[in-house]
Amino acid sequence: MRQRFPVWLALLLAGCTCPQEQPGPMVRGLLALAREAAQERMAQPPPPEADTLQRLDRLAREVRDLLHTKRPVEAMNEVLFARHGFAGDAHDLSLQSALLHQVLDRRRGSCIGLSGLYLALGERLNLPLAGVLVPQHMLVKTRGTAGRLVELLKQGRSMPRSWYVQRYAVPPGNPLYLETELSVDQTLAVLRYNLANDLRDHQRFRGALEHYRQVVAVLPRFAEAQANMALTLYRLGRLSEAEQAYRAAQAANPALPDLERNLRLLRREAGRPTSAPDRP
């Protein structure tokens, strides 16, 4: 019996996968973040946006040509990983590994950088893809309750949910991790988190704090962002605000590494009892 493709795939094959003429919100956001990063770091500006769009669309045309014989994720994986040799680097947490034009140049990126590329390419082709968070990691999935998880550090392989729960210690009770299909704004907030981390690492604490605030305004239960914002507030001497951010991180993920130790140190410096209850 002939296999029936889902309706959304039939629509794709009917000609809905032509690259968009104008960039969509995901691509616009990625391009804007690259400009912000260059300004914040006083670095060389990114290449002209038209060049980045042309490079994306060349990849998109290759994917589109495969959609008559392959499902979208398999087509994306073949083009990016098999033909063009893109690779993930779990240890490179630098800002460069997350920016779209840098990932295209180096054909290498962090989980955040490859997720941004994958989602940008999917947007150019109108594919139903979304970003997904687990603690300290980002991946992509096809939209829907039975959507396929796409692990970009393993060349787009589909890993079971149990693998993420165990490997990344997904906290129960926080639907942001593994359960939520991130919106465009939420995905861009995760990428902005990388910029905030870079500024903090270069002692640019006020700039980092502004970006962390933008991140947690969109993703209040993003424990890593709350914890790093707390550390930045601590470095600025704003101890009461730092404790509030640490408590928000603790509520979002009680098992976040070093959280208890940092809270004890902060309480000691603020002159509060270190045995104070952890809940507000």
Q: What is the pLDDT of residues 65-116, one digit of tens each?
A: 999 999 999 999 999 999 999 999 999 989 999 999 999 999 999 999 999 9
Q: Residue 39 class from Cβ within 10 Å (0-12 exposed, 13-18 middle, 19+ buried)?
A: exposed
**pLDDT on residue 18:** 53
Q: Angle CA(214)–CA(109)–CA(119) in degrees, nearest 5? A: 65
258 vs 206, which has greater pLDDT?
Answer: 206
**pLDDT on residue 279:** 37
42 vs 205, which has greater pLDDT?
Answer: 205
**pLDDT on residue 274:** 52
Rg of the chain on CA atoms, in Å: 20
Instruction: Fold for 184-270, please state it.
Output: 1.25.40
Q: What is the pLDDT of residues 118-136, one digit of tens each?
A: 999 999 999 999 999 999 9
Q: Which two tokens stand for residue 277?
A: 């209850």
* Range of lowest pLDDT (53-62, 177-186, 255-264): 255-264
**pLDDT on residue 1:** 42
Does CATH place domain 19-167 in 3.10.620?
A: yes
Residue with tokens 């670095």: 43
- Percent of the chain at pLDDT above 70? 90
Instruction: Kindly list the distances between the CA atom of residue 9 and the CA atoms of 16, 49, 143, 230, in Å, as whole numbers in the listed order.
Output: 10, 30, 12, 44
- Is residue 273 pLDDT above 80, yes or no? no
Q: Which two tokens stand for residue 276?
A: 């104070």
* Cα gap 9→170, rounded to integer Å: 31
**pLDDT on residue 114:** 98
* Cα gap 22→67, rounded to integer Å: 22
pLDDT confidence band for 2 (50 / 70 / 90): very low
Which residue ranges does the chain devote to CATH 3.10.620?
19-167
Which residue ranges does the chain devote to CATH 1.25.40.10?
184-270
Q: Which two tokens stand for residue 31?
A: 């391009």
Q: Which two tokens stand for residue 208?
A: 């980092």
- Is residue 271 pLDDT above 80, yes or no? no
Q: What is the pLDDT of residues 6-38, one digit of tens each?
A: 544 544 444 455 555 789 999 999 999 999 999
Mean pLDDT of the chain: 90
Give the global pTM: 0.88
Q: What is the pLDDT of residues 47-76, one digit of tens each?
A: 999 999 999 999 999 999 999 999 999 999
**pLDDT on residue 120:** 98
Instruction: Kindly list the distances between the CA atom of residue 10 and the CA atoms of 15, 68, 147, 189, 231, in Å, as whole numbers in the listed order.
Output: 9, 10, 17, 32, 49
**pLDDT on residue 160:** 96
- Percent of the chain at pLDDT above 90? 81
